Amino acid sequence: MPLRSTSAATPSRQLDHPEPADIRLEEVLHACADPMRLRIIQALAADAAAACGEIGLACSKSTATYHFRVLREAGVITQRYQGTAKVNELRRADLDAVFPGLLDALLASATAQAGRTREA
Amino acid sequence: MPLRSTSAATPSRQLDHPEPADIRLEEVLHACADPMRLRIIQALAADAAAACGEIGLACSKSTATYHFRVLREAGVITQRYQGTAKVNELRRADLDAVFPGLLDALLASATAQAGRTREA
DNA sequence: CTCATAGTTCGACGACTCTCGAACCTCGAT
DNA sequence: ATCGAGGTTCGAGAGTCGTCGAACTATGAG
Protein backbone atom coordinates (compact mmCIF):
# COMPACT_ATOMS: atom_id res chain seq x y z
CA MET A 1 0.00 0.00 0.00
CA PRO A 2 1.57 3.16 -1.32
CA LEU A 3 0.95 5.75 1.35
CA ARG A 4 -2.75 6.03 2.15
CA SER A 5 -3.37 8.58 -0.51
CA THR A 6 -6.03 11.01 -1.61
CA SER A 7 -8.97 8.82 -0.74
CA ALA A 8 -11.66 7.87 1.73
CA ALA A 9 -11.19 7.55 5.47
CA THR A 10 -8.82 9.65 7.55
CA PRO A 11 -11.60 10.02 10.16
CA SER A 12 -9.82 12.61 12.18
CA ARG A 13 -6.27 11.37 12.06
CA GLN A 14 -6.01 8.84 14.84
CA LEU A 15 -2.88 8.67 16.98
CA ASP A 16 -1.67 5.60 18.80
CA HIS A 17 -0.94 5.95 22.46
CA PRO A 18 0.33 3.00 24.50
CA GLU A 19 -1.86 1.62 27.25
CA PRO A 20 -0.55 2.42 30.73
CA ALA A 21 0.31 -1.24 31.19
CA ASP A 22 2.45 -1.13 28.06
CA ILE A 23 4.56 1.81 29.13
CA ARG A 24 8.16 0.65 29.52
CA LEU A 25 10.57 2.31 31.89
CA GLU A 26 13.49 2.05 29.48
CA GLU A 27 11.53 3.85 26.81
CA VAL A 28 10.35 6.57 29.14
CA LEU A 29 13.91 7.15 30.27
CA HIS A 30 15.20 7.13 26.74
CA ALA A 31 12.50 9.60 25.76
CA CYS A 32 13.52 11.92 28.59
CA ALA A 33 17.25 11.56 27.97
CA ASP A 34 17.31 13.99 25.07
CA PRO A 35 17.76 17.71 25.77
CA MET A 36 15.17 18.75 23.21
CA ARG A 37 12.57 16.35 24.55
CA LEU A 38 13.37 17.24 28.13
CA ARG A 39 12.57 20.85 27.30
CA ILE A 40 9.30 19.80 25.75
CA ILE A 41 8.40 17.95 28.91
CA GLN A 42 9.28 20.91 31.07
CA ALA A 43 7.23 23.22 28.89
CA LEU A 44 4.24 20.89 29.13
CA ALA A 45 4.70 20.59 32.87
CA ALA A 46 4.49 24.35 33.14
CA ASP A 47 1.72 24.99 30.64
CA ALA A 48 -0.48 21.90 30.97
CA ALA A 49 -1.21 21.78 27.25
CA ALA A 50 0.42 23.29 24.23
CA ALA A 51 0.51 22.94 20.48
CA CYS A 52 3.72 21.73 18.91
CA GLY A 53 4.58 25.14 17.60
CA GLU A 54 3.90 26.99 20.83
CA ILE A 55 7.00 25.61 22.46
CA GLY A 56 10.02 27.45 21.19
CA LEU A 57 11.90 24.53 19.72
CA ALA A 58 15.14 25.37 17.95
CA CYS A 59 14.73 22.87 15.15
CA SER A 60 12.91 22.19 11.93
CA LYS A 61 9.28 21.15 11.86
CA SER A 62 10.13 17.61 10.88
CA THR A 63 12.51 17.26 13.78
CA ALA A 64 9.84 18.56 16.13
CA THR A 65 7.37 16.03 14.77
CA TYR A 66 9.92 13.33 15.40
CA HIS A 67 10.50 14.27 19.02
CA PHE A 68 6.82 14.57 19.83
CA ARG A 69 6.26 11.17 18.31
CA VAL A 70 9.00 9.62 20.44
CA LEU A 71 7.41 11.09 23.54
CA ARG A 72 3.95 9.90 22.57
CA GLU A 73 5.09 6.37 21.72
CA ALA A 74 6.94 6.11 25.01
CA GLY A 75 3.73 7.02 26.78
CA VAL A 76 4.97 10.32 28.14
CA ILE A 77 2.52 12.61 26.37
CA THR A 78 -0.83 12.48 24.64
CA GLN A 79 -1.48 14.24 21.37
CA ARG A 80 -4.80 15.12 19.83
CA TYR A 81 -5.78 17.21 16.88
CA GLN A 82 -7.66 20.40 17.43
CA GLY A 83 -8.38 21.98 14.14
CA THR A 84 -5.15 22.45 12.32
CA ALA A 85 -3.09 22.31 15.49
CA LYS A 86 -1.95 19.34 17.51
CA VAL A 87 -2.27 19.67 21.24
CA ASN A 88 0.22 17.96 23.52
CA GLU A 89 -0.26 17.06 27.13
CA LEU A 90 1.74 15.23 29.77
CA ARG A 91 0.30 11.88 30.87
CA ARG A 92 0.75 12.75 34.51
CA ALA A 93 -1.90 10.47 35.92
CA ASP A 94 -0.95 7.46 33.83
CA LEU A 95 2.74 7.83 34.53
CA ASP A 96 2.11 8.28 38.19
CA ALA A 97 -0.02 5.17 38.29
CA VAL A 98 2.63 3.06 36.61
CA PHE A 99 5.79 4.66 38.00
CA PRO A 100 4.79 6.53 41.14
CA GLY A 101 6.89 9.57 41.79
CA LEU A 102 9.06 9.20 38.73
CA LEU A 103 7.72 12.12 36.75
CA ASP A 104 7.85 14.44 39.72
CA ALA A 105 11.42 13.45 40.51
CA LEU A 106 12.33 13.96 36.89
CA LEU A 107 10.77 17.40 36.68
CA ALA A 108 12.32 18.42 39.97
CA SER A 109 15.70 17.21 38.74
CA ALA A 110 15.38 19.09 35.50
CA THR A 111 14.50 22.24 37.39
CA ALA A 112 17.36 21.72 39.82
CA GLN A 113 19.81 21.29 37.00
CA ALA A 114 18.52 24.34 35.20
CA GLY A 115 19.05 26.30 38.40
CA ARG A 116 22.56 24.94 38.83
CA THR A 117 23.43 25.80 35.24
CA ARG A 118 21.99 29.29 35.37
CA GLU A 119 23.85 30.36 38.48
CA ALA A 120 27.19 29.57 36.88
CA MET B 1 52.40 5.97 20.71
CA PRO B 2 51.77 2.27 20.55
CA LEU B 3 49.64 1.61 23.61
CA ARG B 4 51.37 2.76 26.79
CA SER B 5 53.38 -0.40 27.17
CA THR B 6 55.43 -2.20 29.77
CA SER B 7 56.83 0.85 31.49
CA ALA B 8 56.74 3.24 34.42
CA ALA B 9 53.68 4.76 36.06
CA THR B 10 50.25 3.13 36.33
CA PRO B 11 50.09 4.09 40.03
CA SER B 12 47.07 2.04 40.76
CA ARG B 13 44.97 2.54 37.66
CA GLN B 14 43.07 5.72 38.33
CA LEU B 15 39.45 6.02 37.23
CA ASP B 16 37.76 9.30 36.43
CA HIS B 17 34.50 10.00 38.16
CA PRO B 18 32.58 13.20 37.49
CA GLU B 19 32.19 15.68 40.31
CA PRO B 20 28.64 15.84 41.65
CA ALA B 21 28.27 19.30 40.11
CA ASP B 22 29.18 17.88 36.72
CA ILE B 23 26.57 15.15 36.73
CA ARG B 24 24.09 15.83 33.94
CA LEU B 25 20.52 14.66 34.08
CA GLU B 26 20.42 13.72 30.41
CA GLU B 27 23.42 11.46 30.84
CA VAL B 28 22.07 9.83 33.95
CA LEU B 29 18.81 9.12 32.16
CA HIS B 30 20.59 7.82 29.11
CA ALA B 31 22.72 5.60 31.32
CA CYS B 32 19.61 4.18 32.96
CA ALA B 33 17.69 3.78 29.73
CA ASP B 34 19.45 0.57 28.73
CA PRO B 35 18.11 -2.79 29.97
CA MET B 36 21.53 -4.17 30.72
CA ARG B 37 22.59 -1.12 32.69
CA LEU B 38 19.27 -0.95 34.48
CA ARG B 39 19.89 -4.47 35.73
CA ILE B 40 23.33 -3.49 36.90
CA ILE B 41 21.84 -0.62 38.85
CA GLN B 42 19.22 -2.84 40.41
CA ALA B 43 21.85 -5.38 41.38
CA LEU B 44 23.96 -2.69 43.00
CA ALA B 45 20.93 -1.28 44.77
CA ALA B 46 20.33 -4.68 46.29
CA ASP B 47 23.90 -5.65 47.06
CA ALA B 48 25.55 -2.32 47.91
CA ALA B 49 28.80 -3.27 46.20
CA ALA B 50 29.76 -5.91 43.70
CA ALA B 51 32.55 -6.78 41.31
CA CYS B 52 31.81 -6.64 37.62
CA GLY B 53 31.75 -10.38 37.32
CA GLU B 54 29.50 -10.97 40.30
CA ILE B 55 26.46 -9.63 38.52
CA GLY B 56 25.17 -12.23 36.13
CA LEU B 57 25.43 -10.23 32.94
CA ALA B 58 24.52 -12.06 29.77
CA CYS B 59 27.23 -10.53 27.62
CA SER B 60 30.92 -10.64 26.87
CA LYS B 61 33.50 -9.15 29.19
CA SER B 62 34.20 -6.26 26.88
CA THR B 63 30.53 -5.39 26.69
CA ALA B 64 30.31 -5.45 30.46
CA THR B 65 33.31 -3.13 30.69
CA TYR B 66 31.57 -0.79 28.29
CA HIS B 67 28.34 -0.62 30.30
CA PHE B 68 30.11 -0.09 33.60
CA ARG B 69 32.10 2.71 32.04
CA VAL B 70 28.95 4.41 30.76
CA LEU B 71 27.47 4.25 34.25
CA ARG B 72 30.63 5.59 35.84
CA GLU B 73 31.03 8.45 33.38
CA ALA B 74 27.42 9.46 33.87
CA GLY B 75 28.08 9.64 37.60
CA VAL B 76 25.78 6.79 38.54
CA ILE B 77 28.36 4.45 40.04
CA THR B 78 31.86 4.53 41.45
CA GLN B 79 34.47 1.97 40.55
CA ARG B 80 37.66 1.17 42.39
CA TYR B 81 40.19 -1.55 42.05
CA GLN B 82 40.56 -4.10 44.79
CA GLY B 83 43.28 -6.49 43.87
CA THR B 84 42.45 -7.94 40.50
CA ALA B 85 38.75 -7.19 40.83
CA LYS B 86 36.89 -3.95 40.27
CA VAL B 87 34.29 -3.05 42.79
CA ASN B 88 31.22 -1.11 41.75
CA GLU B 89 28.96 0.95 43.94
CA LEU B 90 25.95 3.18 43.44
CA ARG B 91 26.59 6.88 44.09
CA ARG B 92 23.47 7.15 46.18
CA ALA B 93 24.50 10.13 48.28
CA ASP B 94 25.86 12.16 45.38
CA LEU B 95 22.87 11.49 43.18
CA ASP B 96 20.50 12.31 45.96
CA ALA B 97 22.28 15.57 46.60
CA VAL B 98 22.10 16.63 42.98
CA PHE B 99 18.77 15.12 41.96
CA PRO B 100 16.82 14.51 45.15
CA GLY B 101 14.50 11.55 44.94
CA LEU B 102 15.42 10.61 41.41
CA LEU B 103 17.33 7.45 42.15
CA ASP B 104 14.68 6.19 44.55
CA ALA B 105 11.94 6.84 42.05
CA LEU B 106 13.94 5.08 39.40
CA LEU B 107 14.61 2.03 41.51
CA ALA B 108 11.00 1.87 42.62
CA SER B 109 9.88 2.14 39.00
CA ALA B 110 12.22 -0.62 37.93
CA THR B 111 10.92 -2.84 40.70
CA ALA B 112 7.33 -2.01 39.85
CA GLN B 113 7.89 -2.86 36.22
CA ALA B 114 9.63 -6.11 37.09
CA GLY B 115 6.62 -7.00 39.20
CA ARG B 116 4.21 -6.14 36.42
CA THR B 117 6.18 -8.19 33.94
CA ARG B 118 6.53 -11.19 36.21
CA GLU B 119 2.85 -11.50 36.99
CA ALA B 120 1.99 -11.77 33.29
C1' DC C 1 -12.16 28.10 -4.45
C1' DT C 2 -7.86 29.64 -2.83
C1' DC C 3 -4.74 30.47 0.60
C1' DA C 4 -2.12 30.37 4.66
C1' DT C 5 -1.10 27.81 8.66
C1' DA C 6 0.24 23.67 11.14
C1' DG C 7 1.97 19.50 10.94
C1' DT C 8 3.41 14.94 8.35
C1' DT C 9 6.08 11.83 5.50
C1' DC C 10 9.91 10.45 3.01
C1' DG C 11 14.63 9.69 1.98
C1' DA C 12 19.11 10.80 3.25
C1' DC C 13 23.09 11.65 6.04
C1' DG C 14 26.46 11.65 9.83
C1' DA C 15 26.96 10.49 14.48
C1' DC C 16 26.41 7.58 18.14
C1' DT C 17 25.21 2.86 20.48
C1' DC C 18 25.74 -1.72 21.53
C1' DT C 19 27.82 -5.76 20.56
C1' DC C 20 31.65 -8.79 19.92
C1' DG C 21 36.46 -11.36 19.57
C1' DA C 22 41.30 -11.07 19.83
C1' DA C 23 45.07 -9.47 22.05
C1' DC C 24 46.58 -7.40 25.99
C1' DC C 25 47.57 -5.80 30.96
C1' DT C 26 47.60 -6.46 36.47
C1' DC C 27 47.43 -8.56 40.41
C1' DG C 28 47.88 -12.34 43.59
C1' DA C 29 49.15 -17.06 44.04
C1' DT C 30 52.07 -20.91 43.13
C1' DA D 1 59.16 -16.64 36.82
C1' DT D 2 55.01 -18.19 35.51
C1' DC D 3 50.12 -18.74 35.60
C1' DG D 4 45.22 -17.89 35.86
C1' DA D 5 41.42 -14.97 36.90
C1' DG D 6 39.49 -10.59 36.15
C1' DG D 7 39.34 -6.51 33.27
C1' DT D 8 40.83 -3.42 29.50
C1' DT D 9 41.67 -1.82 24.81
C1' DC D 10 41.21 -1.87 20.11
C1' DG D 11 39.05 -2.30 15.90
C1' DA D 12 34.92 -3.47 13.50
C1' DG D 13 30.11 -4.24 12.32
C1' DA D 14 25.05 -3.79 12.55
C1' DG D 15 21.77 -0.91 14.01
C1' DT D 16 19.52 3.17 15.98
C1' DC D 17 19.22 8.29 16.65
C1' DG D 18 18.72 13.10 15.55
C1' DT D 19 18.78 16.16 12.02
C1' DC D 20 17.33 18.22 7.81
C1' DG D 21 14.79 19.79 3.29
C1' DA D 22 11.42 18.92 -0.07
C1' DA D 23 7.11 17.57 -1.10
C1' DC D 24 2.88 16.59 0.88
C1' DT D 25 -1.76 16.64 3.55
C1' DA D 26 -5.39 18.65 6.65
C1' DT D 27 -8.11 22.48 8.50
C1' DG D 28 -10.07 26.89 8.84
C1' DA D 29 -10.51 31.74 7.02
C1' DG D 30 -11.51 35.00 3.43
Residue A50 located in a structural domain: yes
Give the residue nearest to nucleotide D22 (CA to C1').
A62
Q: What is the pLDDT of residue B14?
A: 79
* H helices present in A1-120, as ranges: 25-32, 35-47, 61-74, 92-98, 102-118
Give per-residue pLDDT as tens, A31-79. Answer: 999 999 999 999 999 988 899 999 989 999 999 999 999 999 999 999 9
C-alpha distances out from residue B50 to A9, A16, A75, B53, B88, Å: 58, 42, 34, 8, 5
Contact state of A29 with B24 under an 8 Å Cβ cutoff: no
Nucleotide nearest to A5 (CA to C1'): D25
Which residues in chain B are contacts of A102 at CB distance < 8 A? Answer: 105-106, 108-109
Answer whether residue A116 is part of any domain: no
- For the cut 70, the answer to whether the pLDDT of residue B11 exceeds it is no
Residue B35 covered by a domain: yes
Do B98 and A112 make contact, defined as CB atoms within 8 angstroms?
yes
**Nearest-CA neighbor of A98 among B101, B26, B100, B110?**
B110
Reported as a single tens digit per residue, the pLDDT across B56-77 is 899 999 999 999 999 999 999 9
Query: What local confidence, expressed as pLDDT, does residue B1 receive?
Result: 35
For B74, the domain range is 24-103
- What domain count does chain A have? 1
Asked whether residue B119 is domain-assigned, the answer is: no
Q: Residue B25, CB half-sphere, CA atoms under 13 Å: how many?
A: 30
**Cβ atoms within 10 Å of B67's Cβ, excluding its own:** 18
Are the beta carbons of B94 and B75 closer than 8 angstroms? yes
Q: What is the CATH number of the domain that holds B44?
A: 1.10.10.10
DSSP 3-state of B117? helix
Instruction: Note the pLDDT of residue B48.
Output: 83
Coil, strand or helix at A82: strand
Question: What's the whole-number mean pLDDT along residues A105-115?
Answer: 97
Residue B17 in any domain: the answer is no
> For residue range A5-32, what is the model confidence (pLDDT) as tens digits?
333 334 457 789 999 999 999 999 999 9
What b/e readout covers B5-15, taking b as 16+ CB neighbours within 10 angstroms? eeeeeeeeeee
* pLDDT band for position B107 (cuts 50, 70, 90): very high
Asked if the Cβ–Cβ distance from B35 to A29 is below 8 Å, we say: no
* Residue B58 counted as domain residue: yes
A43 within some domain: yes
Name residue A108's amino acid.
A
Please report whether residue B31 resides in a domain.
yes
Residue range B88-112: average pLDDT?
A: 98
B115 contact partners, CB below 8 Å, separation of at least 6? none
Contact present, A53 and A93 (Cβ < 8 Å): no
Output the pTM of the full model. 0.89
User: Chain B partners of A119 at a C-beta cutoff of 8 Å?
Assistant: none
Average pLDDT estimate for B35-53:
94
